[in-house]
Amino acid sequence: GAVALGALWFVSTPFVALVLETPLSVESTTEPDWRPDYIYVLAAGFDIGDSPAEDSSGLETTRRVNRAVALWREHPTATLVMAGIQPGTESLRNPDQQGQLMQDQAERMGVPAASIIIDAVSTNTNGHAKVARDQDFLSPDTPLAIVTSDFHLRRAHREFSRFFGNLRMVGSDPDITDDTFGDVSLRSFWPQVDALRDSTTYLREYAALALSDLRN
């Protein structure tokens, strides 16, 4: 009992959450003369309403699209690829519902529909990369930007780098929410619900990284 409580206390602290997240957040340095042909936006799920019109993207998906649009504004000749469907919704929604919500958000932010493609096939990170591999418009040397949550960058890079060699990984977490070791204080060692949630997400991500190698 005491050991379990101690472990729960440990993983519930912001400091431990930061330690767990840091190796996962492997954002690329993008050179000034590098230009993506395609910007892949990896879906992170949506919330189902009473009707398709009432569906809404989850927080992580929304942030990923926000960051992708900001990147597109820097490279307006690029095409956005909204990648992924939400498993378990097949009987409730069309396969492209996740991608359509993402496209609608991007269009509201000024991206023309002609600059957006929806991948309504892949269901996970491994699948996103394999569907991309099979696209006629992509080659192993195509310049690709992959936009996803900071904690998901390492796994996304591992999957896409199996097939593509000209990648740049772009994290979607807002700068204002990013903690660094310079932000550590006494409060960082006190358990918090948000820190427990984050630590759980990061531990699950490490497990997914291990499974990634087994799948391939």
Give CA–CA dist 31/191, Å, rounded: 40
Q: Are 86 and 175 in contact (CB under 8 A)?
A: no
Q: Is residue 45 part of a domain?
A: yes
Give CA–CA dist 105/108, Å, rounded: 5
Q: Is residue 188 part of a domain?
A: no
Q: Is residue 88 part of a domain?
A: yes
Q: Which amino acid is at 153?
A: L
Give CA–CA dist 130/126, Å, rounded: 6
Q: Is residue 197 part of a domain?
A: no
Give CA–CA dist 15/187, Å, rounded: 9
- Packing angle, helices 97-108 and 59-74, rounded to 10: 50
DSSP-based three-state secondary structure for 140: coil
Residue range of the domain that includes 151: 27-178
Residue 134 CB neighbours (<10 A): 10
Q: Is residue 71 part of a domain?
A: yes
Compute CA distances 188 → 4, 194, 196, 205, whole Å. Answer: 20, 12, 12, 22
Residue 74 CB neighbours (<10 A): 12
CATH of the domain at 149: 3.40.50.620
CA-derived radius of gyration, the chain: 18
* Angle in degrees, CA 172, 212, 214, rounded to 5: 175
Count the domains in the chain: 1
pLDDT in tens, the chain (216 residues): 777 787 888 889 999 999 999 999 999 988 889 999 999 999 999 999 999 999 999 999 999 999 999 999 999 999 999 999 999 898 899 999 999 999 999 999 999 999 999 999 999 999 999 999 999 999 999 999 999 999 999 999 999 999 999 999 999 998 877 777 777 788 888 899 999 999 999 999 999 999 887 776
Q: Is residue 202 part of a domain?
A: no
Q: Is residue 196 part of a domain?
A: no
